């Protein structure tokens, strides 16, 4: 289990982005972090991955203090992270990237399996170079495939995985998350605004203005969020008709 204890983070310009965050991401569960843009969600994901370190507080993995560990060390100990904006790797093919993530050679069937899970045809992509020739959506799906190829993972972190992918691939992505949930054991953390992703969460955490506003089981939190969204869409003069 991952736990954050009273974590805060201040950016280099002095702006306090996260304030006194305490959060548990339990094993075998899917936790979705949501909230308004600019609220601190991606910064929180980067703290967990080790891209940035907290100004205050601790981050624990199975009781071990990993606060000072960088991204590489955290990856070695089972934290896998998919960036909001996929990283490009000149000279590396999709196969190279998947094999690096899996830490072994992969046969064509295995490569096809990982790419198929994110809606890509292996024959078309297996030898493609992971550079700017890929569209944003293609890069996103390939990065998700590399996260799926990782073994011995304790926590998989996805930062807005739906960004830049089409509806068919998004439906496929929902199925991927369902399969990961059904495997059990691993913790799954997703940053997302999408209602369909919120609907399959076990736990939902709302981050706004650098703080946790709401946290709890999906059955408790999601109806509150949907009610708030509906109220925000309905002008007061139309409140009666919107409530029908």
Convert the pLDDT of each residue in 33-50 to its tens digit. 999 999 999 999 999 999
User: In this predicted model, what pLDDT tens digit does every residue of 47-90 receive, in sequence order?
Assistant: 999 999 999 999 999 999 999 999 999 999 999 998 766 677 77
Cα Rg, the chain, nearest whole Å: 19
Nearest-angstrom CA–CA distance, 158 and 179:
15
Confidence of residue 240 (pLDDT cuts 50, 70, 90): low
The two structure tokens encoding residue 116: 């198929």
Q: What is the pLDDT of residues 94-104, one digit of tens each?
A: 999 899 999 89
Q: What is the per-residue pLDDT for 83?
A: 77
Q: How many CA atoms lie within 13 A of 61 on its CB side?
A: 22
Query: Which range, 12-26, 126-140, 230-244, has the best average confidence (pLDDT)?
Result: 12-26
Q: Which DSSP helix (H) or strand (E) runs through 129?
A: none
DSSP string, 41-106: HHHHHHHHHTSS--SEEEEEETTEE-TT--HHHHHHTTEEEE-SSPPP-TT-BHHHHHHHHHTS--
DSSP E strand boundaries for the chain: 2-10, 16-25, 30-34, 56-61, 64-65, 79-82, 155-159, 187-191, 203-208, 211-217
Give the distance from CA 76 to its chain's centroid: 18
pTM assigned to the model: 0.86
The pLDDT, as a whole number, for residue 152 is: 87
Instruction: Look at residue 243 in the predicted model and tell me its pLDDT.
Output: 55
Rounded Cα distance, 150 and 158, in Å: 13
């Amino acid at each position: 289990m991952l736990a954050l204890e009273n974590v805060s983070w201040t950016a280099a310009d002095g702006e306090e982005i996260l304030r006194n965050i305490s959060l548990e991401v339990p094993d075998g569960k899917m936790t979705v972090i949501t909230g308004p843009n600019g609220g601190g969600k991606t910064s929180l994901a980067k703290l967990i991955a080790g891209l940035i370190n907290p100004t205050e507080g601790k981050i624990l993995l199975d009781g071990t203090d990993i606060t000072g560990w960088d991204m590489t060390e955290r990856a070695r100990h089972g934290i896998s992270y998919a960036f909001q904006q996929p990283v490009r790797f000149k000279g590396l093919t999709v196969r190279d990237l998947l094999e690096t993530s899996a830490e072994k050679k992969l046969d064509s069937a295995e490569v096809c399996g990982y790419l198929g899970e994110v809606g890509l045809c292996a024959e078309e992509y297996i030898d493609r170079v992971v550079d700017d020739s890929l569209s944003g959506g293609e890069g996103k799906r390939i990065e998700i495939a590399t996260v799926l190829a990782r073994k011995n993972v304790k926590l998989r972190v996805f930062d807005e995985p739906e960004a830049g992918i089409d509806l068919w691939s998004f439906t496929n992505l929902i199925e991927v998350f369902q399969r990961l949930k059904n495997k059990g054991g691993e913790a799954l953390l997703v940053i997302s605004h999408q209602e369909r992703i919120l609907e399959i969460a076990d736990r939902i955490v709302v981050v706004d203005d650098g703080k946790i506003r709401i946290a709890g089981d999906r059955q408790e939190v999601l109806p509150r969020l949907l009610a708030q969204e509906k109220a925000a869409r309905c002008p007061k003069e139309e409140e009666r008709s919107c409530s029908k």
